[in-house]
C-alpha cells in the first residue's frame, strides 16, 4: 500500500462507515460488492468504446469505490476469507486491464496512444506480478510510486477531464517505474541471494 493511500485510509474509513454499516445491514457481502464493482468497470469500459468518456469515468469511479469498500466491509464485520482476498486480487487485474483495452480499441488508429496503452498494460500487470512473485519467495515488496489506487485515480481523472493521452502516458511511465522499484527491492533483500 502506497504512502498516499496509507495516509488517507483512516479518513476514508471514517467517512464511509455509514455506507459500510448500511451494506452490512442489508446483507451485502464483501464478495458481492467486489463483483458489483467489476460490473461497473465493464459498463464504464463499454462507454469508453462508445466514446462517452465522462460517463465511462463515472462508472469506473463507482466500480473503484466498490473495490475500496469491500475490504473495509470485510475487516469491520470480520468477514475476511482467503477466497475473498483471492477474488479481490483477480477482480483487480480485470479492473486494471479492461478499461485500458477499451481505450486501445477506441484509439486503435493512434500509434502513440497504442504504444502508451501497451506500456500501461505491461506496467500494470508487472507491478502486480513482481509483488506477488516476491511474496511467494518470502520477500515483501510493497514499494513503488504507482500502485493500483494511483493508476485508477489517474485513469478516472483522465476520463473525466478528457486528457486521455496524458493520463495513459503517466500510467505507462510510472507503472513501469514501480515494477523496476520492486525488482530493485527484491534484489537488495538478503533472501534474494
Q: Which residues have a catalytic role annotated?
A: 92
Please work out, in degrees rounded to the nearest 5, the angle formed at the alpha carbon of residue 149 by the alpha carbons of 65 and 60.
45
Burial class (CB in 10 A: 0-12, 13-18, 19+), 7: exposed
Q: Which residue has the cell 485515480?
A: 153
H-type alpha helices, the chain: 3-25, 30-49, 53-76, 82-106, 111-136, 148-161, 164-188
Cα 70 to Cα 35: distance, rounded to the nearest angstrom: 10
Amino acid at each position: 500500500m502506497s504512502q498516499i493511500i496509507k495516509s488517507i485510509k483512516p479518513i476514508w474509513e471514517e467517512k464511509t462507515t455509514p455506507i459500510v454499516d448500511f451494506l452490512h445491514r442489508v446483507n451485502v457481502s464483501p464478495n458481492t460488492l467486489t463483483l458489483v464493482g467489476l460490473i461497473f468497470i465493464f459498463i464504464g469500459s463499454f462507454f469508453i468504446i462508445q466514446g462517452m468518456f465522462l460517463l465511462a469515468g463515472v462508472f469506473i469511479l463507482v466500480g473503484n469505490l466498490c473495490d475500496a469498500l469491500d475490504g473495509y466491509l470485510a475487516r469491520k464485520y470480520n468477514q475476511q476469507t482467503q477466497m475473498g482476498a483471492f477474488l479481490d486480487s483477480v477482480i483487480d487485474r480485470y479492473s486494471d486491464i479492461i478499461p485500458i483495452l477499451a481505450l486501445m480499441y477506441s484509439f486503435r488508429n493512434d500509434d502513440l496512444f497504442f504504444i502508451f496503452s501497451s506500456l500501461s498494460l505491461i506496467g500494470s500487470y508487472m507491478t502486480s506480478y513482481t509483488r506477488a512473485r516476491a511474496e511467494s519467495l518470502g520477500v515483501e515488496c510493497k514499494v513503488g510510486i504507482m500502485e493500483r489506487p494511483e493508476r485508477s485515480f489517474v485513469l478516472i481523472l483522465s476520463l473525466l477531464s478528457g486528457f486521455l493521452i496524458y493520463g495513459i502516458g503517466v500510467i505507462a511511465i510510472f507503472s513501469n517505474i514501480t515494477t523496476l522499484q520492486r525488482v530493485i527491492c527484491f534484489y537488495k533483500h538478503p533472501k534474494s541471494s
